[in-house]
């Protein structure tokens, strides 16, 4: 969003004396930004907040109004003059407008809204934006998600490399977040090493996919400081309105709760808030998997079963052979996110057993603690499945 805003401001400055060229350039930007530029143009020039569809209509009405004014007055009419006349006399959204140079206003506006170190929005603006988006979500029955991020072991980074290195890392992480989010999303520095992203009109699945993309990008980034290569990770909590709360005002608290769960689960992961304490999504997973009871020494004791769903922490499958709650199983699961597509071997504990007719059993297995690389591979696979469905 900030990059497009800068592009619009550059156009306004560059073509301040050529309104026809200015309008053409702004509409070119609109084509490449899926028309989300129109609310931004209206906001920069009038400080009015309009929905995308309404802003686009207003922009068309303004440019048409300018053409009519030029025709009636038989002289060129400045775009800013047209906008003032339109919103004061036709749309009547402005009652008592004040004229000010854009660069003067933008400098003061930037100081009041942005964090000086990271370039993200500050806590004060975040609070106001969240209130507005919650009100809009409640009014129009829309979903709203929040991602609450916290850099892992950041104090250790500051203690080991110094606060200048810490500042560099915060700036780089902010750039990664701004690069990954959509134009309608909003990212803010909440405090210290905490950063928050508001995702309007987004549910848990979209939020999880974005959170994983940000987490992976931060994990892979190498921060260069005084010939040192520093790597950091981030944990995140995700909560959604209205799925997790009816009021909307609690959504930030719930995202923070999920963040603490992510920290407790080993860090460097995204935890999804759930009142049922299920932190991870399950995907439908209709595949044949191999299962073996670890207690039985016979290597031929692998059986083939049909899986039903799959998550980062466990799997559900059907079998014609029963297992006991607490049994330790070795499972070979076919996923295709590894460099060499094939079977991933994990161990787990039977935590659920349901008996059906005809000697069929539904068995739930919770994975025993796995190494970080294996957890990452499974999460990548699950995220890609959501990506295929929703994007």
Q: Residue 129 sits in a domain of what CATH number?
A: 3.30.70.270
The answer to whether residue 378 sits within a structural domain is no
Task: Looking at the structure, tell me whether residues 153 and 218 fall in a common domain.
Answer: yes
Integer Cα distance of 143 and 156 in angstroms: 37
Q: Are 149 and 234 in contact (CB under 8 A)?
A: yes
In angstroms, the CA 8 to CA 354 distance is: 60
- Domain identity same for 262 and 297: no
Q: What is the token pair recorded at 40? A: 């931004």
Q: Identify whether the C-beta of residue 234 lies closer than 8 Å to the C-beta of residue 147.
A: no
pLDDT reported for residue 27: 87
Helix-helix angle 37-46:102-113, to 10 degrees: 110
Query: Are 268 and 165 members of one domain?
Result: yes
Residues in the chain: 391
Measured CA to CA, the distance from residue 95 to residue 63 in angstroms comes to 21
pLDDT per residue as tens digits for the range 84-98: 999 888 888 877 777
Nearest to 202 by CA among 159, 242, 152, 162: 242
Please count the structural domains in the chain.
Answer: 3
Tell whether 389 is covered by a domain: no
Q: How confident is the model at residue 43 (pLDDT cuts 50, 70, 90)?
A: confident
Which of 272, 306, 322 lies at the terminal end of a domain, its last residue? 272
Pair 267, 288 in one domain = no
Two tokens at 237?
A: 């909590």
Same domain, 106 and 127: no
Q: Is residue 30 part of a domain?
A: yes
Residue 232: strand, helix, or coil: coil
- Average pLDDT value for the chain: 84
Cα pseudo-dihedral 231, 376, 188, 58, rounded to 10: 130
Question: pLDDT at position 275, please?
Answer: 66
Q: How confident is the model at residue 338 (pLDDT cuts 50, 70, 90)?
A: very low
Per-residue pLDDT of 297-311, as tens digits, reads 655 667 888 888 887
**Per-residue pLDDT tens over the stretch 187-220:** 999 999 999 999 999 988 788 889 989 999 999 9
| Domain boundaries, position 310 | 282-371
Share of the chain above pLDDT 70, in %: 84
């Amino acid at each position: 969003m900030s990059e497009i805003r800068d592009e619009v401001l550059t156009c306004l400055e560059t073509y301040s004396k050529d309104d026809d060229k200015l309008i053409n350039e702004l509409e070119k930007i609109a084509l490449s930004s899926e028309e989300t530029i129109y609310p931004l143009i209206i906001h920069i020039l009038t400080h009015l907040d309009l929905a995308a569809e309404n802003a686009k209509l207003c922009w068309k009405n303004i440019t048409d109004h300018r053409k009519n004014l030029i025709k009636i007055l038989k002289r060129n009419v400045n775009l800013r003059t047209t906008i003032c006349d339109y919103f004061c006399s036709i749309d009547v959204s402005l009652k008592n407008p004040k004229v000010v140079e854009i660069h003067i206003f933008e400098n003061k506006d930037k100081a009041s809204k942005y964090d000086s170190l990271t370039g993200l929005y500050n806590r004060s603006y975040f609070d106001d934006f969240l209130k507005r988006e919650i009100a809009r979500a409640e009014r129009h029955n829309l979903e709203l998600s929040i991602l609450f991020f916290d850099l892992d072991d950041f104090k250790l980074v500051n203690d080991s490399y110094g606060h200048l290195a810490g500042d560099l890392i915060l700036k780089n992480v902010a750039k990664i977040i701004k690069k990954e989010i959509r134009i309608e999303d909003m990212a803010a520095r909440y405090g210290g090493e905490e950063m928050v992203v508001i995702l309007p009109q987004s549910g848990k699945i979209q939020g999880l996919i974005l959170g994983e993309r940000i987490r992976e990008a931060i994990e892979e980034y190498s921060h260069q400081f005084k010939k040192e290569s520093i790597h950091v990770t981030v944990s995140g909590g995700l909560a959604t309105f209205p799925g997790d709360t009816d009021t909307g005002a609690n959504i930030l608290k719930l995202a923070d709760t999920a963040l603490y769960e992510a920290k407790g689960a080993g860090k460097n992961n995204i935890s999804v808030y759930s009142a049922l304490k299920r932190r991870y999504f399950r995907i439908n997973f209709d595949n044949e998997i191999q299962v073996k009871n670890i207690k039985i020494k016979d290597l031929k004791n692998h059986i083939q079963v049909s899986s039903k769903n799959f998550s980062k922490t466990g799997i559900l499958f059907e079998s014609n052979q029963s297992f006991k709650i607490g049994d330790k199983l070795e499972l070979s699961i076919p996923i295709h996110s590894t460099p060499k597509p094939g079977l991933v071997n994990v161990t787990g504990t039977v935590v659920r057993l349901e008996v059906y007719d005809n000697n069929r059993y539904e068995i739930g297995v919770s994975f025993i603690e796995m190494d970080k690389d294996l957890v990452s591979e499974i999460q990548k696979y699950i995220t890609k499945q959501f990506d295929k469905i929703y994007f």
